[in-house]
Structure 1
Amino acid sequence: MELKYHQFGLVCVIMLLPLMCTSQDSFTCSRATYYGSPECTANPTGACGFGEYGTAINDGSVAGVSWLWRNGSGCGACYQVRCKIAEYCDDYGAYVVVTDFGVGDRTDFIMSPRAYSRLAKNEDASAELFKYGVVDVEYKRVPCRYGGYNIIVKVNERSYNPHYLAIVTLYVGGTQDITAVQFWQEDCKEWRPMRRAFGTVFDVENPPRGDIKLRFQVTGSAGVYWVESKTFITSDWKAGASYDTQIQLE
């Protein structure tokens, strides 16, 4: 009888182990590493398509992710990541923005050196964490906060007026994802889809002439819904131009 109880208890412990990694404050257990960069910044040609924005946002505390990338819809999401070596790790950890895709040694996060260093309590502890290379972490998604910034639509550098338009959305706040983009086709009186080219870059060949109205499909805890930009991409748009949509997600 004692053996049966012991076996039952062992089964219970095994079944509870995954829950122990996800129940505390909604944190999920994983692993994190960092990539080499002399300037401690991110890759400006990252898979999200953010360009230089992806190296400077959040003071360079950014990360590439694996399955959290979600075919690009996870680009721009914000996470709190904290490591689990009590001797070296800060209680709060690091706040990172997803700007790239990356696969490491069973890791969910490949962090910029600047972000990785913020996992540590102090400079000495940071040096020790860099020696580890890969550390056990726990993470959770947190709202992105861009104090005063609305969602910005930037015309991708590969665009060419009037034959090809590609855009990327910047400063998406809250915990929602932009999962689709459409433009208004005035002559047909209907919304037409843009193609997700890669990451968070959406494009269309032969876009409408004249000013261009956009709307965004938003997916999050509130479900799936559409939000229209309150402004237009003007007819004289050029590669690199940015437009304030005058909308923000909370």
Structure 2
Amino acid sequence: MSLSFWYPLLLTSLLFMQTLADTSCTDCLINSRASYYPNSDEQGTSVGACGFGSFGATLNGGDVTAASDLYRNGVGCGACYQVKCTNSAYCSDKGVTVVITDQGSGHNTDFIMSKHAFTGMAQTIDAAANLLALGVVDVEYRRVSCSYSNKNITIKIDESSGNPHYLAFVIWNQQGKRDITAVQLCETQNFVCKLLDRDHGAVWATTSPPTGPLSLRMLFSDDEGEDTWVVPPNNIPQDWKAGDIYDSGIQVTQ
């Protein structure tokens, strides 16, 4: 057969392979812009939309950020991203790893960082001052695994909770690159489970919590559509109250 017969088929195959490569590249750097909280201190905010509270200001050593599209209606809370500014005169090759703790946007940015995180992209102290003066910079970013050394996933009972009529809690210290997309509470005696609502950010809530000690079930989802239920060994005790903090006894590293 002639080359004219095979050429369209070859071209179609190459385009199909290129499409697969483009959609499967989960570690590719994405171009965007970043700014910082102009009225913040070195750390983040304690009133972020994710519901982390004061913990969110110091999380990850203060390298935290608000996000626009990456907030994903709260699903993105706690996700970690490597962010590198692209101005070679001021920016380091490594950049900074930030954790999403808030929602916000401005100047067509994907990230509004704490000052600590924003200056962490710089090569030197002088370069950091120049970045702050610019205010908004071009960046490249990609999602990376979160890492919290020697810490399990932690449950903080929200201050709005009142036993036994209303239970809300926020999930801290989630490692890896997967999202928590659903949460259930199960009675440990009869194994009746209740699917919770995402109240806001990383806060899950129910107006009619199950009774007795409660077993927690979390659904972890990855970019490839794989879902895995994780059941921590430690239960939430029957006498839970607002402000309590519980170690789940488990960590998810992937």
- Asked whether the two chains share a fold, i.e. TM above 0.5, the reply is yes
SS at match of 2:148: coil
SS at match of 2:61: helix
Preserved contact between residue 187 and residue 213 of structure 2 (Cα < 8 Å):
no
Letter in 1 for 2:218: F
Tell me the residue number matched to 1:172.
Answer: 174
- For the pair 1:244 / 2:247, whether they are aligned, the reply is yes
Preserved contact between residue 188 and residue 215 of structure 2 (Cα < 8 Å):
no
Paired with 2:93 and 2:183, the residues of 1 have a C-alpha distance of 39
Post-superposition shift, 1:42?
1.5
**For 1:123, which of 118, 122, 125 is the aligned residue?**
125
Q: TM-score, normalised by structure 1?
A: 0.87
Letter in 2 for 1:200: A
Tell me the residue number matched to 2:232.
Answer: 229
Preserved contact between residue 37 and residue 113 of structure 1 (Cα < 8 Å):
no
In the TM superposition, what whole-angstrom CA distance separates every residue of 1:6-52 from its partner, at most 9, and x where no partner exists? xxxxxxxxxx9xx99x9796110000000123522212111000001
Tell me the residue number matched to 1:87.
Answer: 89
> Within 5 Å, which residues of 2 pair with 1:68-83?
68-83=70-85
Unaligned runs of 5+ in 2: 1-17
Tell me the residue number matched to 2:157.
Answer: 155
Q: 1:25 to 1:150 in 2, by over 3 A?
A: closer
Paired with 1:211 and 1:187, the residues of 2 have a C-alpha distance of 8
SS at match of 1:213: strand
Paired with 1:72 and 1:224, the residues of 2 have a C-alpha distance of 18
Instruction: Report the aligned-residue RMSD.
Output: 2.1
Tell me the residue number matched to 1:200.
Answer: 202
In the TM superposition, what whole-angstrom CA distance separates every residue of 1:181-221 from its partner, at most 9, and x where no partner exists? 11114687432111110001000112122111110010115
Unaligned runs of 5+ in 1: 1-15
Letter in 2 for 1:51: G
Q: 1:213 to 1:25 in 2, by over 3 A?
A: closer
Tell me the residue number matched to 1:13.
Answer: none
Preserved contact between residue 96 and residue 115 of structure 1 (Cα < 8 Å):
yes
Which consecutive segments of 4 or more residues in structure 1 shift more than 3 A?
Answer: 22-25, 185-190
Q: TM-score, normalised by structure 2?
A: 0.86
Paired with 1:125 and 1:169, the residues of 2 have a C-alpha distance of 36
Paired with 1:206 and 1:24, the residues of 2 have a C-alpha distance of 39
Tell me the residue number matched to 1:111.
Answer: 113
SS at match of 1:98: strand
Tell me the residue number matched to 2:146.
Answer: 144
**For 2:219, which of 213, 217, 220 is the aligned residue?**
217
Letter in 2 for 1:142: V
Letter in 2 for 1:81: V
Tell me the residue number matched to 2:9.
Answer: none
